[in-house]
Structure 1
Amino acid sequence: MLGIIIVLVLMVMGGLIAFLGDKIGSKVGKKRLTLFGLRPKYTSIIVTIISGTLISFFTVAVMAVVNENIRVALFGLNKLKGEMNELNREIADKNKQLDEGKMLLARRTDEYNKMNERAIGMSKELDQVESQRASMENRLSSVQKAYDKAQTDVNASAAEIDKLEKTRNELNGNIKKLDHERASLMNNIASIREGTVVYRTGQVVGTGIIGAGLSRTQASAALDALLNHVNTDLRTRMNVKDKNATVMRVSQNTFEEAASELVNSKSDKVVRIVSAGNIMVGEPVVVDFAIYDNRKIFNSGAVILSAPLSSYDKGANNQGRILMFLHDVNRLARDKGVLFDPLTGNIGQLNAQELTDVIRQVNEYGGNCILTAVAKRDIYTEGPLVIDVHVEKVEE
């Protein structure tokens, strides 16, 4: 609508300019005025051009003063273009975050589906327990009737009565046991529905270093000591008051296989105790072993990675490019053999203060710098990756 109004105004002003220019030129021509010593004919033409130019100028000026959109169209296009480019970059960043959120949602949905399947399985077990309980109650009712009949029958033998009493007590005990199992299953189903997971599959529960060249007896004793230590830590984490409680389980076959791998090993071993499945609140932690050679990966002071900040995504800000550099350091250390967290994939990272100092230095240099990651101490297979990041300004 605004564009149509502007076109109509320009058409009207064009006609008015032509009319006024002609009138002014005609009057100047009739009066035979001269300008700069020119003939009246040329003076008339010049006055007509100048008057038309001035009227056009004032028309546009008045429209610019009256309407903000015209001012923007005349003088603010470059600024608008810059703002549009910035908005497009922000949209691209938000789309990237949206994609990451969708991936995380897919993983959470998959975990929920698995838990739901487990809950369905337990519901089926609960139905079976209920069926068995009902069957035993029917049997108990029959026994009770037989018992009552036996009590009233003076010819019934005492032995038969004793036998029936034992059967009744047995059935009562079974019913109580089934009631306990039913309550336990109901609690487990409620935990699964609520998603109260203490440890996830593959999560590291504890870690230890076991020396090389052990006999079978020594290897078994070392694993026992590590399991006892981790069990003590778990009791504290899970707030278990009983100091003698065993909150962790490992199968005998798993234990024997791990001990065999440690016997007469040529190097020290990193032994990780990991969760064998998703562990709910109230369940014992069923674990497995993951065993690795404990090698020195980086010497103290060794340069792990050095790269100019400008080699990373130009569209990202300085903080984003620093995080890309740290991601590359993490990946390189992982490729070299430093163990990572199975859930997050991380090996190590700068603390908040160190990261803030690096960002501040990079900003002071305007991003024209080289980042160098250096090992703070000797780094072994077990990790973690403890580093310093040096920031070196690049002279332009």
Structure 2
Amino acid sequence: MTGWLLLLSLLVLGGVLSTLGDRLGSKVGKARLSLFGLRPRQTAVVITVLTGSLISVLSLGLMLLVSRQLRVGLFELNDLQARLRSSRADLKSSRSAQRQSRRQLETARKDEIEVRRRLEEARKQATELRDTLKPLQEQTRRLEAERQRLSQDVRQRDDEIRRTDRELAAVRDRIRSGEAELKQLEDNLLALRRGNVAISSGQPLATVTLRLERPDQARQVIDQVLREANLQAYQQVLPGQTPDKQILLVPRQDIKRLEDAIRKPGTWVVLLRSAANVLQGETVVYAFPEVRPNLTITRDGEVLAATALASTETSAEEVRNRLNLLLASTLAEIQRRGSISKGLQFDSQALNALGQTLIERSTGRVELEAVALGDTETADPVAIELRVQRSFQSAPAGDSL
């Protein structure tokens, strides 16, 4: 609507100005006016041209005043065209980018579909792995239980090996003791070639357990022990003779050391041992004292040693060896604790009966223990009893000990 009004205004304005210019030209022509030295006719033409020019200027000015689009198109057309070209280029780039984005989106969608497919495959594989893993886990639990059982068996074997090593050490101690006894027997044999040995080297002549009420009683107690040892020496070296003199000789420094030891608080065990082999008829017996604290060696019912018979050990020799090993281990244990006993007290008939029962058993591993029968101290004999710790089944009668 604005364009039509502008066009109508231009037509009206052009008509009015044309009419005015024509009239002004006619008046100038009739008046014979002259401008700038021109002829009247030429002046009229100039006036007419100026009027036409004024019409154009006013028309253009009115259009520019009224129409912003005309102003923009007239003065900013090149910029607009440049912007248009730039916008078209940007649009082309945007469309290219859009197409690229669409291709990327399509690729992303394809990738998403592929990822979903792979995820579904991974889920299926995870399910299959779980199904496969279940029996493996169950097998692992069984193997772990088996490993624990085997570990327990290994620990039991290690314990048995350690017990066997202790028993072997005790046997070796007995062997060394036997070698020492053999050496002593050899010495005795040499002495026997010269005469009858009445007292062996190291043989106890007197053993007494004492506790002094007062330290000044030490000398009196030692004299009593020496008299008892002298009487024992007389009876063995000079049998039948009256013990009317001192044939037992003990170094003074040994007596002094013994006196200093028993003055100390506590209960003591004093032994007088022969220093060498003594033949019958000799008149001098050299001895040396030995003192040690009186200790509690065993308690009633205490297990002193233990061993085990394997299920395959059923012969008489194997059972006999195992019982002898148990006795040797028990003797070594009480001597380690400080006992001066040279042997053990036990019921031989009960031992033989136990050996026969062990031989006649059918199957099973048997554990044996040596148990103390009563409380004993350093100088006391040690009585024991062999007991079966684990039960077993019997078989028909076979070998015996």
After TM superposition, the score normalised by the length of structure 2 is 0.46
After TM superposition, the score normalised by the length of structure 1 is 0.47
